[in-house]
Amino acid sequence: MGDDKNIGVMVRVRPLLAREKSDSSSLIEMPPQADKGKVILKSRTDKKGDKEFIFDEAIWSFDEKDDHYMDNTSFYAKSGPELVDHFFQGYNVCLLAYGQTGSGKTFTMMGDDNNAEGFIPMLVEDILNYKTRLVSDKINCELKFSYMEVYNENVRDLLYDGKDKKWRVREHPDTGPYVEGLKEFDIESFKDFQKYLKIGNRNRSTASTMMNDKSSRSHAIINLYLKQTKFHKNDDDLEIGKIDSEIISNIKLVDLAGSERLSKTQIYGQQDRMKEGSLINKSLMVLGRCINVLSRKTTNNTNEMIPYRDSILTYILKENLGGNSKTVMIFCVAPLDYEETLQTLNYATRVKHIKTRAKQNQIKLSNIRMDWDEAHKNDSIVESLKEEIEVLNEKLTQYEVSNETEKLSKMISFLEKQLTESKFQNKYLSSKIKEMEYEKQELQDHNRYINSLLRDNLNKEVDLKLQHQNQLVENQLNLLEKQIILNQQDLEVFLNDFSPTSVYT
C-alpha cells in the first residue's frame, strides 16, 4: 500500500543583501504568535490589500534579532531529520528549492564560504552517521552519489571528466525516468562527499547578473542512492548470518535555477546569457504547468495529461512530483520584491494541493544457490570462471548467443553476493571490535578508579590505625610521666622522713 501525502511546502524569507541595506523593512511578515505556516505579504498601498497564505512551515530568516529567527542550522534541525528517517525507511525522497534569482536558494541548500553549512551537507552528514550506527544491527548500507545539472535543456554529468558527451533520459517501467550512463561514486565518509560536491560545484554553470553576483544558470540535482542489506540475526554475535532482505531508496536534492526577468537581470546583448535565461524560464514554466495539472487532478479528479516530457527537468522529476516519492519544496523569497514574491507564493499554494503516493521499496531475497560440482567439475572456482569469461569473449566477438551467458551471469552474481557478505562481515567485526575495545577501556578506567579508591581507603585506614597507636602510646607516656612524678614525690617524702638532719635536730 502507498502512503498518500501532500507535497510538503515551506517558505523562507532571506535577510537583506548589502545592496538592499537602504531599506530596513520587509514586505513579508511571519508572525511568531500566529499559525506556524502563516505568511503575510503586505500591500504597498493599504493594509486591506495584505494577502495571507498558510503553508506547512514559514521560516523567518530576515532579522537575527527576532525571537523566531532561524539560521540554516535551526532550519535543518526542524525539517531534515524527518527526511533522513523516510530515506532509511525505504521511501524515495525529494527536496526542491524554488525561487527567483537572488532569493537565497543556493545558500539554503549548499551554504556559503563563511562556515554556514547548507541543508544538503547537514543532511548527508546525518545519513552517514545513521549508516554507521546500523552496522551493529547487522544492516549493511551502500551509499552512492551522483551530481548533474540540466543546462540549456540538456543533462550534464558534473562529475564526468572526459570529453563532451550526451546523456539521455530513459524511463524504467518500475522506477521511472533515469539518466543513462550517469557516474556514481561510493560515499563512505563526509570527506568523500565534500570532495565530489566540490568537483561538481566547480563544474556547475554560473554567471554574474544584476540580480546575483554568482547566478546559477542551471538546475542542479544531487542524487543519493541507498541500498540496505539486512542479515538474519542469529545466536552467534560474531556472525552476520544470511541475507534476509534489501531496501532500496533514493533522495534527490534539487537546487533550481531562479526565474529571471530581463528588466532585472539586465543581460541585454549577452546572447548566451539570454538563451540560458529563456531556457531556465521555459523549464520552470513547464514545471508550473505540471504543478497546475497535478493540483487540478487532486482537487477536481480530472484526467488531464501531465506534460512531463515538455522539459528535461520535469521528465527527470516525474516520480517526485506525482509518483512514488515523499517530496518537500522550499520556496525562497526576497523581502523587498512584491511582484515576484506574490507569484512565488501563489505557485506554492498550488503545490501544496498535490498528492504523491510513496511506498517502501523493500525486497525479500531468496538465497542464491550454485551447483559448483556441475559448474566446476575438476577445476578450481577461479580457474573455471576465467575459462567461462574467455569463452564468452570469443563468442561475443563472433556475435554468437549462448545459454552460457546466463550461467556465467549467475556465477558472477553469486560471487558478487559472497564478496558483499564478506566485506560486510569484516565491517561488522570491526564494529564489534571497536565496541569491545570501548568496553575494555571502560573496565580499565573502572579498575583504575576502584584501585584508586582502595588505595585511598587503605591509606586512610592505615592513617587511622597509626593515629590510634600514636594516641595509645601518648596516653601511656602521659601515665608514665604522672607515675614518675608521683614516685618522685613519694621518694622526696621518704627521704625527708629519714633525713639525719631531721633526727638530730
Which CATH number applies to 69-333?
3.40.850.10
Q: Is the pLDDT of residue 145 over 50?
A: yes
What confidence category does residue 394 fall into, taking pLDDT thresholds of 50, 70 and 90? low
Cβ pair 249, 92 in contact under 8 A:
yes
400-442: pLDDT as tens digits: 444 556 666 777 777 777 677 777 777 777 777 777 777 778 8
Give the up-direction half-sphere exposure of residue 372: CA atoms within 13 A in the CB hemisphere.
11
Q: Is the pLDDT of residue 153 over 90?
A: no
Spatial distance between the Cα atoms of 269 and 233, rounded to a whole number of angstroms: 67
214-267: pLDDT as tens digits: 445 688 999 999 999 888 766 666 666 777 788 999 999 998 887 654 444 444
Q: Please give the pLDDT value at position 486.
A: 77
Q: Is the pLDDT of residue 378 over 60?
A: no
Cβ pair 83, 94 in contact under 8 A:
no
Q: Which of 116, 103, 122 is nearest to 59 (CA)?
A: 103
Count CB neighbours of 388 within 10 A: 18
Cβ pair 157, 199 in contact under 8 A:
no
Spatial distance between the Cα atoms of 218 and 155, rounded to a whole number of angstroms: 10
Q: Which of 71, 76, 49 is nearest to 60 (CA)?
A: 71
Mean pLDDT of all residues in 110-136: 89
What confidence category does residue 277 fall into, taking pLDDT thresholds of 50, 70 and 90? low
Count, residues in the chain: 505
Identify the H or E element spanning 264.
Answer: helix 262-265
Mean pLDDT of all residues in 126-134: 92
Cβ pair 301, 67 in contact under 8 A:
no
Residue that wins the pLDDT comparison between 5 and 279:
5
Residue 138 gets the label, from left (phi > 0), alpha (psi -120 to 50) or beta, of left
Q: In the chain, what percentage of residues exceed pLDDT 70?
A: 77
Bridge partners, 405 (sequence order): none
Lowest mean per-residue pLDDT among 30-39, 192-201, 349-358: 30-39
Spatial distance between the Cα atoms of 193 and 96, rounded to a whole number of angstroms: 19
467-481: pLDDT as tens digits: 887 788 788 777 877
Mean pLDDT of all residues in 321-348: 90
Q: CA dist 133 to 10, 235, 240, 350, Å?
A: 30, 20, 15, 39
Spatial distance between the Cα atoms of 319 and 331, rounded to a whole number of angstroms: 20
Q: Is the pLDDT of residue 299 over 80?
A: no
Q: CA dist 63 to 15, 28, 59, 102, Å?
A: 6, 12, 11, 17
Spatial distance between the Cα atoms of 470 and 122, rounded to a whole number of angstroms: 68
What confidence category does residue 268 fall into, taking pLDDT thresholds of 50, 70 and 90? very low
Bridge partners, 52 (sequence order): 40
Which phi and psi angles does 22 have, rounded to 5°?
Answer: -65, -25
As to burial, measured by CB atoms within 10 angstroms (0-12 exposed, 13-18 middle, 19+ buried), residue 244 is: middle
Q: Which of 13, 276, 324, 310 is nearest to 152 (CA)?
A: 276
Q: At what angle do helices 381-397 and 404-497 cross, to 10 degrees?
A: 140
Q: Is the pLDDT of residue 136 over 60?
A: yes
What confidence category does residue 210 fall into, taking pLDDT thresholds of 50, 70 and 90? very low
Mean pLDDT of all residues in 150-176: 86
Spatial distance between the Cα atoms of 333 and 13, rounded to a whole number of angstroms: 5
Spatial distance between the Cα atoms of 391 and 405, rounded to a whole number of angstroms: 10
Q: Please give the pLDDT value at position 443.
A: 80
CA 216 to chain centre: 23
Q: Please give the pLDDT value at position 364.
A: 62
* Beta strand extents in 436-495 (DSSP E only): none
Which phi and psi angles does 267 have, rounded to 5°?
Answer: -110, 30
Q: Please give the pLDDT value at position 436.
A: 77
